[in-house]
């Protein structure tokens, strides 16, 4: 007799992160002054790896092929939610391992890892949300710990200031999203996404419902740092500890896109949009404008920065524009392909962008400096770490033979196949521009002469392990892209098939 897991076990990735947070709280309550960094980091790492492992196990077992609906259809576990759960758990594991060294001299160790686990639990819940109420709650569960994480360095003025700015802008975006949800509920009479879609097919995306849709889109644009709602991201990413910046710019951004994909394809589907387009709020056109402006402004701003960390912050804004192509090209009849390409790009982006920010964490650990000039000649003292950073830079630019090339190529090919060749053209031009500022880092590390002596006295195991893992994944994702593409397409089919 084969034992069948209960339906609620489909939420295992989320439950594992919650369990990790509770265990860390218990450890901290028993011994509030514990300095056992290894125990705390190992607990968080084990939970993250377990969540990633369960996600892969469920995907391989086909758990999401027949969607599991829980709590009166407010949560749905399908291939898409499991796909993104793996992304979040992988990024969390890398960040936690790197934090073992980075946070070595800071207080609130247990609280730090617990906040990371709680934020990750909210992120894993977001793509499974099938109700606007759950969308809002899971988003807040992710956001509230993130505010504290940005300001975790209490004696660092930059960290506290960044946390305050992030909190204020986050509160504003949450209020906009909540008001938009209330308008949608006022017209549809339901918060469940399928029932909202039924009301939209009757009412059309006009009047109050149309305004609500645009406000919901604005709330998600804040979460994903899309222009013109991006202005909090460079400040928050620059002031936060570098592992937290990696966590927010990779996992948090992917979570915002995951929930946006489900809401706009299920609650406001393309079929309804096309039928009522003549007299509706054109949310597809709005996303197209967001995509073009976001990738263009993000890349141009990144090209003008003097500090490496702020350059990566604006670079993450540009990548939000690439990911938006998945929604912007939905009406071209190539929906599953282009949406799956956007999901695949977010997975690859999770590894290469996290790795790049963790290299910044390593540079901060060594007190190297913040500007491009401070990195001059760094490869003479840390060749392995600089080689990994080179992989991340070229992959973010979309060059072969790295994973970023495959994901960008398929994303642009999907836009062309959907008839939006101009979106692909804008993306290709911006990718070419990005090569300029990414190569500045590579040039400084490998070609320029050192401008000062580097005080590199140790090679932190945690940071090196996380950077190495991210680099290996980024390289292997090109030859091993087939399974990623297969599951990304299955995830997209769960929404638009």
- Give the integer Cα–Cα distance in Å for 21 and 295: 36
- Give the integer Cα–Cα distance in Å for 388 and 470: 8
In this structure, the dihedral spanned by the alpha carbons of residues 256, 261, 264 and 267, taken in order and rounded to 10 degrees, is -100
More confident residue, 21 or 282: 21
pLDDT for position 1: 46
Mean pLDDT of 184-193: 91
CA-wise closest residue to 119 among 259, 18, 204: 18
19, burial (CB in 10 Å: exposed 0-12, middle 13-18, buried 19+): middle
- Give the integer Cα–Cα distance in Å for 393 and 321: 18
Mean model confidence pLDDT for the chain = 89
pLDDT for position 278: 46
pLDDT for position 209: 85
Q: How many CB atoms lie within 10 A of CB 428?
A: 15
Report whether the peptide linkage leading into residue 401 is cis, meaning its omega lies within 30 degrees of zero: yes
pLDDT for position 391: 95
The pTM for the full model equals 0.94
Residues 286-325 pLDDT 10s: 899 999 999 999 999 999 999 999 999 999 999 999 999 9
More confident residue, 276 or 163: 163
**pLDDT above 90 for 273:** no
Residues 15-25 pLDDT 10s: 999 999 999 99
- Give the integer Cα–Cα distance in Å for 241 and 117: 16
Report whether the peptide linkage leading into residue 367 is cis, meaning its omega lies within 30 degrees of zero: no
Do the Cβ atoms of 345 and 408 come closer than 8 Å? Answer: yes
Residues 83-136 pLDDT 10s: 999 999 999 999 999 999 888 888 788 899 999 999 999 999 999 999 999 999
pLDDT for position 279: 46
Residues 27-50 pLDDT 10s: 888 887 777 788 999 999 999 999
Residues 211-255 pLDDT 10s: 898 899 999 998 888 888 888 888 889 888 999 999 999 999 999
Do the Cβ atoms of 251 and 350 come closer than 8 Å? Answer: yes
Do the Cβ atoms of 386 and 446 come closer than 8 Å? Answer: yes
pLDDT for position 204: 65
**C-alpha of 289 from chain center:** 21
More confident residue, 451 or 130: 130
- Give the integer Cα–Cα distance in Å for 432 and 32: 51
């Amino acid at each position: 007799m084969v034992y069948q897991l209960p339906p609620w076990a489909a939420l295992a990735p989320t439950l594992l992160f919650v369990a990790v947070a509770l265990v860390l709280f218990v450890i901290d309550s028993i011994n509030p002054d514990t300095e056992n960094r290894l125990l705390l980091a190992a607990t968080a790492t084990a939970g993250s790896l377990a969540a990633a492992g369960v996600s892969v196990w469920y995907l391989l077992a086909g758990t999401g092929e027949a969607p599991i609906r829980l709590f009166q259809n407010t949560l749905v576990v399908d291939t898409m939610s499991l796909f993104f759960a793996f992304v979040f758990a992988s990024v969390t594991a890398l960040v936690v391992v790197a934090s073992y060294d980075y946070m070595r001299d800071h207080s609130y160790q247990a609280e730090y890892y617990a906040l990371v686990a709680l934020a990750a639990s909210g992120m894993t819940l977001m793509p499974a949300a099938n109700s606007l109420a759950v969308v809002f709650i899971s988003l807040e569960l992710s956001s509230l710990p993130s505010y504290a994480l940005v300001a975790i360095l209490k004696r660092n003025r930059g960290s506290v200031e960044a946390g305050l700015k992030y909190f204020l802008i986050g509160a504003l975006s949450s209020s906009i999203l909540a008001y938009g949800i209330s308008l949608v509920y006022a017209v549809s009479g339901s918060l469940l996404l399928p029932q909202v879609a039924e009301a939209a097919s009757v009412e059309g995306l006009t009047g109050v419902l149309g305004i609500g849709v645009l406000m919901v889109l604005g709330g998600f644009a804040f979460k994903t740092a899309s222009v013109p709602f991006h202005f909090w991201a460079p400040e928050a990413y620059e002031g936060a500890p570098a592992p937290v910046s990696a966590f927010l710019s990779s996992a948090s951004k992917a979570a915002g896109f995951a929930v946006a994909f489900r809401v706009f394809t299920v609650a406001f589907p393309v079929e309804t949009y096309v039928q009522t387009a003549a007299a509706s709020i054109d949310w597809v056109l709005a996303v197209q404008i967001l995509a073009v402006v976001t990738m263009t402004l993000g890349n141009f701003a990144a090209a003008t920065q003097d500090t490496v960390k702020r350059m990566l912050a604006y670079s993450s804004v540009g990548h939000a524009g690439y990911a938006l192509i998945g929604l912007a090209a939905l009406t071209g009849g190539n929906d599953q392909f282009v949406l799956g390409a956007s999901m695949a790009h977010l997975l690859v982006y999770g590894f290469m962008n996290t790795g790049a920010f963790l290299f910044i964490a390593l540079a901060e650990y060594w007190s190297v400096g913040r500007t491009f000039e401070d990195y001059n000649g760094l490869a003479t003292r840390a060749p392995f770490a600089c080689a990994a950073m080179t992989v991340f830079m070229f992959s973010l630019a979309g060059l072969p033979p790295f994973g970023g090339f495959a994901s960008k190529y398929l994303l642009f090919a999907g836009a062309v196949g959907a008839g939006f060749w101009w979106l692909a053209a804008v993306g290709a031009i911006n990718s070419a521009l990005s090569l300029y500022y990414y190569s500045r880092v590579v040039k400084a590390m490998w070609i320029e002469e050192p401008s000062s002596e580097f005080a590199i006295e140790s090679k932190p195991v945690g940071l090196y392990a996380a950077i190495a893992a991210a680099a290996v994944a980024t390289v292997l994702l090109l030859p091993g892209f087939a399974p990623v593409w297969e599951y990304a397409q299955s995830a997209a089919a769960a929404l638009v098939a």
